[in-house]
Structures are given as C-alpha cells and as structure tokens.
Structure 1
Amino acid sequence: MASDQRNDPYRGYNFVLEIDNLPKGAFSEVGGLTADGDSVDYREGTDMQSNVRKLMGMRKYTNLTFKRGYTQDKALWQWYTNVMNGVPDRRNVTIVLLNERREAVLRWHAENAWINKIEGPSLKASSNDVAMESMELIHEGLTLEM
C-alpha cells in the first residue's frame, strides 16, 4: 500500500551553526561537509593473484568554510586571535539542518575545530553587496547524527 505522505528532500537554506562558547551563528553559507579516505595497496609474496589488495587507509576530512554578513559580533576574530597567539583554543562545531517546520533533522559534528583562516569583506564603493566575512575551520573528525 502506497503512503500518502511525500518524501521531499530537505532544503539547503534551513540550517544553524553551533560552536562551543560562541552564540549560534547566522551564517549564509557552509561548505566542506566531506569525509574521504585513502586506500593502501598491499601484496604478500605468497599471494597467488597478480594484483594488489586494497586496504582501508587513513580517514581525512575537508576543511569547513563558513560565510556570513559582517556585523558588530567580533567573536570569530577573537577566536582566531587566540589561535594566532598560540592558545590551544579548539572547539566542537555542529551544523544543524532544519526541516520546513524549523525542527532539527540532521547534525554534522566536527571535533576539535580551530580557525585556520579568517577573511574580512571585499570593499567596493560602487557595490550594493553585503559586506561578508568568511572563516575556514580545520577539524579532526566529522560525524553525522540523524
């Protein structure tokens, strides 16, 4: 029997960012939710096959990138300043995808993240664009919670 409910995909614009010790961020863009890995070629001298075996290697995670409109909030620059001054200021970051009713449906957790790069806005006198800032976070692991 067919279900009467549609199974529509979630919209990419409904999300929130949660960072330890920082208020929830109003970001317009998040990128880099990628987990990848390497394979390791292996062959023993006694193997009968003439090809190598493929073993699972190290896991790796892409840096996360965030963009938002510039505001009075300087918390990201303060975090970057801590890292730049040698303070081991690592934080857990969670990106929460929301459904149409603004309820959390998926969460990506990035462990032990720190700001590697922060970028101020591009300024142009003849532009109507919003002044945007961006940051790049390095982290040690990405997990998905449903």
Structure 2
Amino acid sequence: MATLRTNPYGAFNYLVSLGGTDEASVVAGFSDVSGLGSEISYSEYRNGNEPVNTVRKVANTFKNDDVTLKRGLIGSLDLFEWYKRVREGQHEPRTVTITLLDEARQPVLTFSLRNAQIKKWTGPTLAAKGGGEVAMEEIQLAHEGIEYA
C-alpha cells in the first residue's frame, strides 16, 4: 500500500484502529501518535587472527519503542477499561494499526503493531487557571514488532 511521491505526506491525517474484539467500542480520534521506532542491538566480535585490529559488529536482538497515543477526554471509558482488565491479569494483546492518509483521505501507508498491549494509562492534568487547554488522556502501548506496508 505504500505510495511513493515527490512531496512528503503531512503528519496530521491518520487513522488509529485498536483492534480487539469490539472495535466499535473505541470512540474518538487520537490527536498524537508518537514512539513508532525500533532499535537493533549489536554484539562486538573479533577473531584472534583478524588482520585488522578492530571488532566486527554482529546484529542480534532488537527492541521496540513503546507507542504513545493521546486523545481528548470525551467521557468514554474504553481505554481505561482495557488498562484495568490487563492490570487485573487478563491477557489482551491486539493488532493496532496506524494508517497515514493523503490529502484526499486515501490510505497511503500503514504501521501495524503486533501483539500490542496497554502498558500505561495517564489521565488529564486539571488546572483551574482559566486557560483553553483540552483535558487529555494518553496510553502507552508495548508491542512485539512493527510491520510497515
């Protein structure tokens, strides 16, 4: 599905699907998605008879960064309920997809998080200073891999 073009895509048109058994229960869009990343670890190795006095870097395991999703608080308890079920011992991994859209709102790129599980829920910061801030909640997802299509 990845679509090649000359101009880069904007980072403001995307859809998030949290997978699970009842996708319709997830209400509202997310204003921020961050942490899409992965890092490979390397081991250093050198034979005793190497002609060059330096070590080789050998790729081994990799780790995935946690993904953070933020949305305005709308009165829906779906994210907190997922967190609560996991906290109480239920195993609820999901395939979470983030789909980048072009200006015509057509899908151009999809990131899939394999076996994503909620790791952290953060509620809104409330302050009576009369500002125009929006009450936000955020979740942090641990996952076992990113697929890019």
- Matched to 1:8, the amino acid is N
| 1-structure distance, mates of 2:51, 2:90 | 54
- What corresponds to 2:37 in structure 1? 34
Deviates more, 1:104-113 or 1:48-57: 48-57
| 1-structure distance, mates of 2:132, 2:56 | 57
2:149 aligned with 1:138: no
Higher RCO by CA contacts (8 Å cutoff, separation 6 or greater): 2
Please give the per-residue CA displacement for 1:100-123, whole angstroms capped at 9, x wherever unaligned: 000000001111111111011000
- What corresponds to 1:63 in structure 2? 66
Please give the per-residue CA displacement for 1:53-87, whole angstroms capped at 9, x wherever unaligned: 11112111110001100012211111101110011
Which secondary structure state, in structure 2, belongs to the residue aligned with residue 33 of structure 1? coil
| 2-structure distance, mates of 1:120, 1:11 | 28
- What corresponds to 1:76 in structure 2? 79
- What corresponds to 1:3 in structure 2? none
Which 4+ residue blocks in structure 1 deviate beyond 6 angstroms?
none
RMSD between superposed Cα atoms in Å = 1.4
- What corresponds to 1:129 in structure 2? 133
Q: Give TM-score, length-normalised by structure 1.
A: 0.90
Please list every run of 5 or more consecutive structure 1 residues that lacks an aligned counterpart in the other structure: 1-5
Q: Give TM-score, length-normalised by structure 2.
A: 0.88
Deviates more, 1:92-101 or 1:41-50: 41-50
Task: Give 1:36 shift.
Answer: 1.2
- What corresponds to 1:16 in structure 2? 15
- Matched to 1:11, the amino acid is G
Task: Give 1:45 shift.
Answer: 2.2
